[in-house]
Amino acid sequence: MPGRGRRRRRGAARGRGRAPGLGLGFGLGLGLRLGLGLGGGAGLGLEEGLGGAAAAAALRVLHVTDVHLDPGYRAGAEASCARPPCCRGGSGGARRSGEPLCDTPADVALSALKAAVQVGGIQMVAWSGDTAPHSGGAQASGTGGTRVEVLREALRVFAVGLTRSFSGVPVVPTLGHTDFQGSEGNPQEVFAAATDAWEPFLPPAALRSLRYGGFYSTPVVAVDTPDLKLRAVALNTEAWAMASFSGFVNSAPAEEQLAWLELMLDEARAAGEAVLILGHSPPGVWGGSWGEASERYQHLVAAAGATVAGQLFGGQHSGSFRVLRDGAGAPTSVAYVTPALTTFRGLFPSFRVYDLAPGPPEALGGAQLQVQAFKQYYLNTSAATQPGAPDMFLWREGLKSARLRPHLGDLAPASWDALAAEMAQNKELAQRVQELESNGAEWRVGAKCGSGTPAGCATSPCRA
């Protein structure tokens, strides 16, 4: 059992240890359109010639994060209360497609899964935490339960949706910061809730580790690729989250988990397994992780080399990337941050689909599994339904990695590093990326969420 650790003395990684990252969100209303019934009805399918599995992909992963599913959301409730999140009581015209000052309706969250089914070829699902709604607000959750009971219900609803939409597909879930709100002094009740909800997805050994510390490792037998040697490592990033007071005063859980991560990476390398690392808060101070833990994580990933096939995180609500480096400052890997599935703060709900495949022999990692492409899909909450079919949600394809060319030749770490350097010198490019970071919603610089500014947040993305 972890003992009491020393208090952290460094709140930020030093120099190259910060793992810099710049935002990459998506939201161009082009290409694919998916219509999904608001009440779970049949979808309208893909436009001709669009979608489908990538021919060269060895593994296609659906990544959903920051669901913030609110079991107490009520269509027709007050949508613009004084202290968000709203839409839990009163009367004010809250839409079934969600509102900027409210957490995610179950209909929206579950329709995203149905849209992902129509994208096609999903072989694994990564679910990166913050499934619970935000706590507080002017309106209490309509469930009438305790905070952990609300978490249990949100986990249950989304887990059932995944089971129905992706029967037989491996699901690898993690916890996020909001999932711990109200249980900071007793994380074991959160671990227990997650263990109960995720029992259908995980083997006994993973469930035992999850109940102990909120993290685990599990082999993944992906659909249609039984010979692929793949292991998922699911982190509990709350152990080193800057927003966690317990992580500040007691570093022992973080140190224990990072030592465990080193062991998992060593064992995977010895077994010839590719590792997909999943978590909520991305590495780096800008990602909300303590610098000391970020430095240690970055060192472990660099040492593992091509064993690490990909790193998928959430927590930022907008899409972004983090370039991780070795001790000499050379880029060694990329941590991808997928935008949120929530409508909160005026964002358009989004999810990503990542394609992984062996790289060319001359690429970093050679023939090992690497992220080769990704696409993002989003729901424009201002035009959320299919024209002529008001009961059908309309999910659109946003920007995909291929559209970043010629600024990004491939998805190798050096290429992402070059893009970041170009953005630092090219204000127009940086501004364009910042606009895309809004997930398709209108970008408005300086908009703030919180008391006294609900009107501004109702029409554009907000940065608290």
CA 8/CA 106 separation, integer angstroms: 39
332-354 tens-digit pLDDT: 999 999 999 998 887 889 999 99
> Among 44-58, 222-236, 316-330, which is the least confidently predicted range?
44-58
Question: What is 19-459's CATH topology?
Answer: Purple Acid Phosphatase; chain A, domain 2 (3.60.21)
CA contacts within 13 A on the Cβ side of 3: 1
Which secondary-structure segment (H or E) carries 173?
Answer: strand 171-174
4-13 tens-digit pLDDT: 343 333 333 3
CA 215/CA 150 separation, integer angstroms: 21
CA 376/CA 339 separation, integer angstroms: 9
Which residues, 6 or more positions from 216, have their beta carbon under 8 angstroms from its beta carbon?
A: 202, 205, 206, 207, 209, 210, 234
Assess whether the previous peptide bond of 283 is cis (omega < 30° from 0).
no
- What's the N-to-C CA distance of the chain in angstroms? 37
244-259 tens-digit pLDDT: 656 666 778 889 999 9
Domain positions in the chain are 19-459
In angstroms, how far apart are the furthest CA atoms of the chain? 61
Q: Which two tokens stand for residue 207?
A: 């469930």
Partners of residue 371 on adjacent β-strands: 356
Q: What is the DSSP letter of 283?
A: S
Which secondary-structure segment (H or E) carries 323?
Answer: strand 320-325
pLDDT: which is higher, 320 or 8: 320
199-256 tens-digit pLDDT: 999 999 999 999 999 999 999 998 888 788 999 999 999 888 766 656 666 778 889 9
**pLDDT band at residue 161 using 50, 70 and 90 as cut-offs:** very high
374-399 tens-digit pLDDT: 998 999 888 888 777 777 899 988 87
Helix axes 106-119, 147-165, angle to 10 degrees: 30
Q: Are 34 and 384 contacting, i.e. CB atoms less than 8 angstroms apart?
A: no
> Among 187-196, 261-270, 398-407, which is the least confidently predicted range?
398-407
CA 304/CA 302 separation, integer angstroms: 5
Q: Is the pLDDT of residue 448 over 60?
A: no
pTM reported for the whole predicted model: 0.84
Q: Is the pLDDT of residue 264 over 70?
A: yes
* Residue-averaged pLDDT of the chain: 79
Question: Would the CA dihedral through 142, 71, 69, 109 be positive or negative?
Answer: negative
Q: Is the pLDDT of residue 143 over 70?
A: no
